[in-house]
Amino acid sequence: MPQLPSLGEADREEMEAFLDELLLIAPILNINAFEAPTTTVHSGTELHIQGKLARANGRETAKGFVVLAGSEAVQKEAPSIPSSAKELRQHLIAQNVVVLKGDRYVFTQDYLFSSPSSAAGVVLGRSENGRLVWKNHDGKSLAELQSSDAASK
């Protein structure tokens, strides 16, 4: 077992803050290397996300996260939206996967995203941790559902 490098308290806190930010941003950039693999996939559990002008339903699958047809996404993107989410939104618009209806976009078909965070980013038009914002009908987040599944094993 290798020994941990010795760091001062301030350096350790700075390193932990950096790691926290990295773990928050990685899923948005479709980097799943830091996510623990889930043995249970909540494909039967419908999850919801809601924003000021967005309301979407989705499911976790073995291949990614599916946003269901009829889900609504915001029209206006926040300045903080990652470029990958912005490009994906433009692609979905060009392919008529989402179409403008009134003041929001509506999914015309189910669409498979690589992660719950990329799905949340497209729906809400901003940077989001999908594991925290996608929730079941009881208000439990996807992260909580995954944690409770892991604890029960």
pTM for this structure? Answer: 0.70
If residue 84 lies in a helix (H) or strand (E), which one and from where to where?
helix 83-94
Tokens of 153: 């094993």
pLDDT tens digits, the chain, 153 residues: what are they? Answer: 777 778 888 888 888 888 888 877 877 777 766 665 443 444 568 999 998 889 999 999 888 899 999 999 999 999 989 898 999 999 999 999 999 999 999 999 999 999 999 999 999 999 999 999 999 999 999 999 888 766 665
The CA distance from 9 to 15, in Å, is 10
54-61/98-101 β-pairing: unpaired
